[in-house]
Structure 1
Amino acid sequence: MDFVAHLTGTYDFPGGSALVNPYAFQNRAGGSARALLTRDGELAVYELTDLLAGEQAPAARFPLPWPGWRHGVHSVSPDRSFAVLSGQRSVRAVDADGTTRWTYEHGCWDQRVGHSHTGDEHQVCPGIESGSCRVSDDGALVWAHVVTPEEYEEVWVVLDARDGRELARLPLDSVASGSGHLSHPDGVHMGLSVGMGQDGVLVYWGRWDGTRLTVHQELNDGLDRILIDVHPGHPGFLTVEHYGNDLQLHALDGTVLAEADAPPAPDEEHPQWDWSCGFLDADAVLATTGVEYADGPEECGTWLLDGRTLEIRGRIAYPDGADPGEVRPLGDGSWLTYDGETGSVRRWTL
């Protein structure tokens, strides 16, 4: 059966296309989501409730300290008093006026072995590889995916948010093109998804108890699952297979709780899910097909799935008859799409 999408709002502001990226949002346990947009040399922080109410001015702005560096995934503290920025050769905590609180230096993400630097901290090397960082929901920790100065080894580190002191680290078997963090709604676990291009993906769930770092990495045998979203009500998370062959719902230890193949599509021998999916609310998942390789919106499909079994309930029909493509479910029963022709973001409900 079809479900009809109802347009509840249209929003126009610079950089809106980034809102369909799962790592543009920084969800907080027990709080509303935040959108973090990088533009014009700054990190702009929006409270999603304010943004959807029509407020176009960001709740906070943080200047980026590295002119020319356009990669990395950044984060902001729960009280918005400081941001933590993922640079090419360091992770840096800064105040809104640009004052540096602390710097955690690491190796250069440019993979050329032995290349030199001028000593200028603003120098940007040609490499496009990058890491990411995330402030914990209680503001006490910073989780960061970085590379060591020696041997170009990638590591996942836990830092003290007060001074950047390293508390723990986990060596990774990755050669990343980029990564992103997702905080679990339990306020304790942190997820990391490391993309390695055609070589696959690695997924980790970590917990720091003040003494010991515990990490689940059971999904990594096949190097083929992308961490997309976490369930708003129970300790489960959603992944899509690297090439879109299936969606899976997992327990924190990686156990597969449910699985869904993509629905049949005309002229497709092996239909595939896109990376555009997530929890619409506690009971439903929204996912798309055909977006990545579509010649137009008429070839795309948006689907409603059961949030616990991943059984396909039906297809979403839009008022104009054309599917807008990528979706970003917000977990409250609504979702966002981006209109590339008008540059506007739209919010929908069923």
Structure 2
Amino acid sequence: MSITAQLRDSVRLPGGGVLVNGFALESRANGSHRALLRNGHGLEVHDLDEVFAGERAPSAVFALPWPGWDRGVDSVSPDGTFAVFSGQRAVRAVGTDGQTLWEYRHACWGPELDHPHSGDEQEVCRGSEHGSCRVSDDGRLVWAHVVAGSAEGDWQERWVVLDARDGRELARLPLDSVAEGSHHLCHPDGVHMGLCIGMGQDGILLHWARRDGEELTGWDLNKGMDRILMDVHAAHPGFLTVEHYGGDLRLHALDGTVLAEAVPESADDEERDDAWGYDCGFVDAATVIASLTDADEDLTRHWLLDARTLEIRGEVTYPAGAVDSWIRPLGDGTWLTYDAPGERLNRWAQGAD
């Protein structure tokens, strides 16, 4: 079955590709979506609906604390009054006036243990390794993936929970990882936080945690798993993942139990090597969208699946022809693609032939 996509909105947005292939789009439990775009020495915050309405001016701009550091995954508070940056040697909160509100220091993400620093906070050490941070949906907490070191040269990555008011550490969990990078995912229930840690060829680690009062409870879902945390939806208690090399999609309960699975149709064909992409997610409560790459033809196609069973409903066709783009579902019945040659961000909705 073919399902025709309907173009809802389109806007020219240079640099907007990071909204579909990256972590520059921050979604909240209230259904809002904000684009966090780096421009020069500032992080510009744009409401997605306002962008499509033609608003060019950002709602806020935060000075980058380390302009030479372009890694890490940053976050902005729900009320837009401060941003939290994941740096190479610190997590730092910055106000709209550019002033530092607080800083949480940690060891350097640089891959060489005990390497020297010049004392210049703007120094960027060798290596692309980085952590990530996320402000909770109620604006009270900052969850951060950091690395700790000691005088003995020990190395341990940690997942810490900080007070968003002053950066004070409230809780921590030790992690058995050697990360190249990571990202957080807020569950819409306002209680659970997910952390996905990429370790390159060494695989993927996936964690969930919750904080009730002073108690922090985390659970490691990595036994027999090598999966990327992709998306959650308020209508579902669990989460969606894709296998590290695109072998299958799975819907899980929060404890990791597999509720549904989808494999490429070519899984039983030894002469083909189709794979799911790293851009699947919930279009709405009933529908998942995912990309499938045909290795033989080097062609990527988009498919809609049932959100509870992951059974394929049909292939998406676009009125203007093929769309060669990553996808970013928004959970409200629409999804984004980016036309790189035309620098256009497009928002689509589901139709039917």
Please give the secondary structure, in 1, of the residue aligned with 2:91.
Answer: strand
Q: Residues 57-136 of structure 1: matches in 2 within 5 Å? A: 57-136=57-136
* Deviation of the 1:22 alpha carbon: 5.7
Rounded to whole Å, the distance in 1 between the matches of 2:72 and 2:296 is: 28
Contact 2:111–2:126 at 8 Å: present in 1 too?
Answer: no
CA-to-aligned-CA distance 1:69-109 (integer Å, 9 cap, x gap): 00000001111111110000000011012100100000000
Residues 1:15 and 2:11 aligned together: no
Contact 2:36–2:46 at 8 Å: present in 1 too?
Answer: yes
* Deviation of the 1:230 alpha carbon: 0.5
Rounded to whole Å, the distance in 2 between the matches of 1:97 and 1:133 is: 21
The answer for unaligned runs of 5 or more in structure 2 is none
> What code does the residue aligned with 1:324 have?
D
* Deviation of the 1:36 alpha carbon: 1.6
Rounded to whole Å, the distance in 2 between the matches of 1:232 and 1:302 is: 23
Query: Which residue of structure 2 aligns with residue 286 of structure 1?
Result: 289
* Deviation of the 1:21 alpha carbon: 3.1
Identity fraction in percent: 59
Query: Which residue of structure 2 aligns with residue 240 of structure 1?
Result: 242
Contact 2:60–2:96 at 8 Å: present in 1 too?
Answer: yes
Query: Which residue of structure 2 aligns with residue 213 of structure 1?
Result: 216
Please give the secondary structure, in 1, of the residue aligned with 2:35.
Answer: strand
Query: Which residue of structure 1 aligns with residue 52 of structure 2?
Result: 52
Rounded to whole Å, the distance in 2 between the matches of 1:191 and 1:52 is: 29
Of 242, 251, 254 in structure 1, the residue corresponding to residue 253 of structure 2 is: 251
Contact 1:217–1:254 at 8 Å: present in 2 too?
Answer: no
* Deviation of the 1:152 alpha carbon: 2.2
- Taking structure 1 as the reference length, the TM-score comes to 0.95
> What code does the residue aligned with 2:239 have?
F
* Deviation of the 1:222 alpha carbon: 3.0
Q: Residues 1-350 of structure 1: matches in 2 within 5 Å? A: 1-21=1-21, 23-150=23-150, 151-218=154-221, 220-264=222-266, 269-290=272-293, 299-350=299-350
- Taking structure 2 as the reference length, the TM-score comes to 0.94
* Deviation of the 1:347 alpha carbon: 1.2
Please give the secondary structure, in 2, of the residue aligned with 1:17.
Answer: helix
* Deviation of the 1:326 alpha carbon: 1.1
* Deviation of the 1:268 alpha carbon: 5.4
CA RMSD of aligned residues (A): 1.7
> What code does the residue aligned with 1:236 have?
G
Rounded to whole Å, the distance in 1 between the matches of 2:50 and 2:263 is: 37
Equivalences, count: 346
Rounded to whole Å, the distance in 2 between the matches of 1:208 and 1:236 is: 17
> What code does the residue aligned with 2:170 have?
L
Contact 2:206–2:227 at 8 Å: present in 1 too?
Answer: yes
CA-to-aligned-CA distance 1:214-249 (integer Å, 9 cap, x gap): 11222x113510001002312221000000000000
Distance 1:95 1:295, change over 3 A: farther
